[in-house]
């Protein structure tokens, strides 16, 4: 197949779309990606892409075309510019492409407007258009604090309805997305498929865990408001009597400095902020962890998601300690691989850590995580399913 992929984020931004597209290319497909000028997650254009540089690249068998994008920076004004600059420029670019692609795949993160380029091309050339939906819109706006009764929310509800209804097929990363799409936009059940994310191969085998006398708990990923890491800071403060505990935050984002300040105020000297690390270094960090942390805000829409870090944690064979609602507790309960408490409940998270410390066979939790991953979330399963979806008519 010759596949046109539209994804607002792509290499060198750390985003799942990269491995997905390279996986399709490795299977013999010709993959062309239309994407942004790299600026995620900090919001500023990467230096090597300034001044019009590197707009056309080939990386690991994938042809990459980058269209005009305003960096996200911070604040609503630049976020809107970022959203619409890519949506408009990618649509104009795709409308100028020849009609020889066999299928169009939109890797739909935020904002929903980014799929417009994929739909426009598919409609013009009568091609199948598949969405791989990683973020729900406008639910993501509500999770970010935009009131459902507001004119902004209502506007993007109409925009989202129009775009979702045009897709030939919508592949969802969480089972809870199905009900939302049906209730909000009347998407027919047969047009929706479940395709959960997977972990990249680097987590299949970790370096040997070093000898140590500490118990290390680790969060890895974006450090933003949705991740509710203040719950972790508060739980750590409640467990200051546990001298063997070490808390590791690996990642960067809008809440990092606030978290550092909060930890300093509480004199949490056992909380270590490592910052953002290259993907190839992450197995070394995972190796030192006795359990991995995942926390989300109490927002009901956020609770519908299954963050990709859950699959990475499971692939690495690590127990999981979570403070989240919705899909995450369902998966962890099915997997029997850790402890999950309600979102935002720092006291319950602290108790979950105590229960983990008292667990007579922590290694069994890790084995359960690995077994569940292999049964439900492997890369081969994902790629086989995606390939079938793209090939079917």
pLDDT one-digit tens code per residue, 108-155: 998 999 999 999 999 999 999 999 999 999 998 887 778 889 999 999
Residue 376: CB partners within 8 Å, gap ≥ 6? Answer: 196
What is the tens place of the pLDDT at every residue in 325-359?
Answer: 999 999 999 999 999 999 999 999 999 999 999 99
Residue 26's pLDDT band (cuts 50, 70, 90):
very high
Q: What is the pLDDT of residues 195-222, one digit of tens each?
A: 999 988 788 888 887 789 999 999 999 8
Please give the residue that has the higher pLDDT: either 203 or 291: 291
pLDDT, tens digit, 9 for 90 and up, residues 247-266: 999 999 889 999 999 999 99
Q: For 352-379, what is the mean pLDDT?
A: 96
CA pseudo-torsion sign 272, 220, 64, 117: negative
Q: Mean pLDDT, to the nearest integer, of 25-38? A: 97
Is a pLDDT exceeding 80 seen at residue 29? yes
Rounded Cα distance between 287 and 131, Å, is 35
Q: What is the pLDDT of residue 19?
A: 94
CA distances (Å), origin 25, targets 58, 90, 117, 188, 297: 11, 22, 21, 31, 37
Helix (H) or strand (E) holding 194: strand 192-194
Q: Which domains does the chain have, with CATH numbers?
A: 2-198+378-391 (3.40.50.2000), 201-376 (3.40.50.2000)
The yes-or-no verdict on residue 377 having pLDDT over 80 is yes
Q: What is the mean pLDDT of residues 176-201?
A: 94
> Residue 377: which of 290, 310, 332, 286 has the closest Cα?
310
Distance from C-alpha of 65 to C-alpha of 73, rounded to nearest angstrom:
22
Question: Do residues 110 and 140 make contact, with C-beta atoms less than 8 angstroms apart?
Answer: yes
Residues 83 and 109: their CA atoms lie apart, in Å, by 11
C-alpha–C-alpha distance, residues 57 and 66, integer Å: 9
Closest to 327 (Cα-Cα) out of 303, 309, 349, 307: 303
Share of the chain above pLDDT 70, in %: 100
Q: What is the pTM of this model?
A: 0.87
Give the separation between CA 197 and CA 377, rounded to whole angstroms.
7
Q: Rounded to whole angstroms, how far apart are CA atoms 126 and 122?
A: 5
Residue at token pair 């399709």: 24
Residue 302 has a pLDDT of: 87
Per-chain mean pLDDT for the chain: 94
**Do 86 and 103 meet the contact criterion of CB atoms below 8 Å apart?**
no
- DSSP assigned state of 127: -
Give me the phi and psi of 375, to 5 degrees please.
Answer: -80, -25
Over 80: is that where the pLDDT of 41 sits? no
The pLDDT tens digits for 53-110 are 999 999 999 999 999 999 988 778 888 898 899 999 999 999 999 999 999 999 999 8
3-state DSSP helix/strand/coil percent for the chain, to nearest 5?
45, 20, 35
């Amino acid at each position: 197949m010759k596949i046109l992929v539209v994804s607002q984020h792509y290499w060198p931004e750390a985003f799942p779309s990269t491995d997905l597209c390279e996986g399709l290319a490795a299977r013999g497909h010709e993959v062309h990606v239309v994407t942004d000028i790299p600026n995620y997650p900090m919001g500023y254009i990467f230096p090597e892409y300034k001044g019009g540089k590197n707009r056309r690249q080939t990386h690991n068998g994938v042809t990459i075309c980058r269209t005009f994008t305003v960096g996200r920076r911070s604040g609503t004004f630049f976020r809107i510019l970022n959203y619409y600059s890519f949506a408009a420029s990618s649509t104009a670019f795709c409308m100028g492409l020849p009609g020889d692609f066999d299928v169009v795949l939109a890797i739909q993160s935020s904002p929903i407007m980014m799929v417009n380029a994929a739909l426009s091309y598919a409609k013009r050339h009568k091609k199948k258009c598949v969405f791989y939906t990683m973020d729900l819109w406008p639910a993501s706006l509500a999770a970010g604090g935009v009131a459902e009764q507001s004119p902004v929310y209502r506007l993007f509800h109409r925009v989202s309805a129009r775009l979702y209804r045009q897709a030939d097929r919508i592949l969802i990363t969480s089972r809870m997305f199905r009900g939302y799409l049906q209730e909000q936009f009347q998407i027919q059940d047969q047009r929706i498929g479940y395709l959960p994310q997977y972990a990249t191969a680097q987590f299949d085998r970790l370096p040997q865990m070093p000898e140590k006398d500490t118990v290390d708990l680790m969060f890895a990923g974006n450090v933003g408001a949705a991740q509710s890491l203040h719950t972790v800071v508060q739980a750590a403060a409640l467990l200051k009597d546990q001298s063997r505990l070490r808390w590791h935050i690996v990642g960067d984002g809008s809440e990092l400095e606030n978290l550092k300040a909060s930890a300093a105020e509480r004199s949490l000297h056992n909380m270590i902020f490592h910052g953002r690390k290259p993907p190839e270094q992450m197995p070394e960090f995972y190796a030192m962890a006795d359990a991995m942390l995942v926390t989300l805000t109490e927002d009901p829409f956020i609770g519908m998601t299954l963050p990709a870090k859950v699959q990475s944690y499971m692939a690495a064979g690590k127990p999981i300690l979570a403070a989240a609602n919705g899909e995450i507790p369902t998966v962890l309960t099915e997997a029997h691989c850790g402890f999950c408490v309600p979102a935002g409940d720092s006291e319950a998270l602290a108790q979950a850590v105590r229960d983990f410390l008292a667990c007579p066979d922590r290694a069994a939790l890790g084995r359960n995580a690995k077994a569940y991953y292999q049964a439900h979330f492997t890369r081969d399963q994902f790629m086989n399913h995606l390939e079938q979806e793209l090939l079917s008519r």
